[in-house]
């Protein structure tokens, strides 16, 4: 099982950026947690602050035959038709993940342009959301 963990803008600052909203865990912590929880899964981890780089990773997941993607598009969630189209264009299922509950925050965060192209959305559960996304992808594959 090969799963891409894809993170968008500003997620490289996890652990220091608004810890009251996003917690104090880092992307390195997430990577360690997922490897420990799912030792039989081959993970690829990628973070970028650039929309095009995220699209290229989604395309590569498709071209390389990955089994699924857990994707936190960050602020692009609410603005990127291009990311929606990239998710819609690929075969591997994509689960949208958000650390904070986007529906309990500012009104502009309530709408995800990416979610309609995804298999599902997990929001507001911190790093546990990534664990749940991986569990879903494992079940969807079997």
**Cβ burial 98-129 (10 Å sphere, 16+ → b, else e):** bbbebeeeeeebeebbbbebbbebbbebebeb
Which of the following is catalytic: 76, 84, 98, 130? 98
Mean pLDDT of 17-39: 91
Higher pLDDT, 66 or 18: 66
Give, rounded to a whole angstrom, the gap between the first and last alpha carbons of the chain.
10
For this structure, is 22 an active site residue?
A: yes
Mean pLDDT, residues 2-29 taken together: 91
CATH number for the domain that contains residue 62? 3.40.50.9100
Number of folded domains in the chain? 1
Q: Which domain holds residue 21?
A: 2-141
In order of 14, 34, 93, 106, 108, the CA distances from 6 in angstroms are: 14, 13, 13, 24, 22
Q: Is position 130 annotated as part of the catalytic site?
A: no
User: Catalytic residue among 22, 76, 84, 130, which?
Assistant: 22
Q: pTM of the prediction?
A: 0.94
The structure tokens listed for 47 are 């973070």
Per-residue pLDDT tens digits for 58-117: 999 999 999 999 999 999 999 999 999 999 999 999 999 999 888 878 787 778 999 999
Give the DSSP letter string of 61-94. HHHTT-SEEEEE-GGGGGT-HHHHHHHHH-SS-E
Of all residues in the chain, the percent with pLDDT exceeding 90 is: 82
């Amino acid at each position: 099982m090969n799963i891409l963990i894809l993170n968008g803008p500003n997620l490289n600052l996890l652990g220091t950026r608004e810890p009251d909203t996003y917690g104090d865990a880092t992307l390195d912590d997430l990577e360690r947690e997922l490897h420990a929880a799912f030792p039989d899964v081959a993970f690829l981890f990628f973070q970028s602050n650039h929309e095009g780089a995220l699209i290229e990773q989604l395309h590569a997941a498709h071209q390389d035959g990955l089994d699924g993607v857990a994707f936190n598009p960050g602020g692009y969630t609410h603005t990127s038709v291009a990311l929606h189209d990239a998710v819609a264009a690929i075969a591997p299922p994509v689960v949208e993940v958000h650390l904070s509950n986007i529906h309990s925050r500012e009104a502009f965060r309530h709408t995800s342009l990416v979610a309609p192209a995804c298999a599902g959305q997990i929001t507001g559960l911190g790093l546990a959301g990534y664990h749940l996304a991986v569990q879903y992808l494992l079940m969807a594959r079997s």
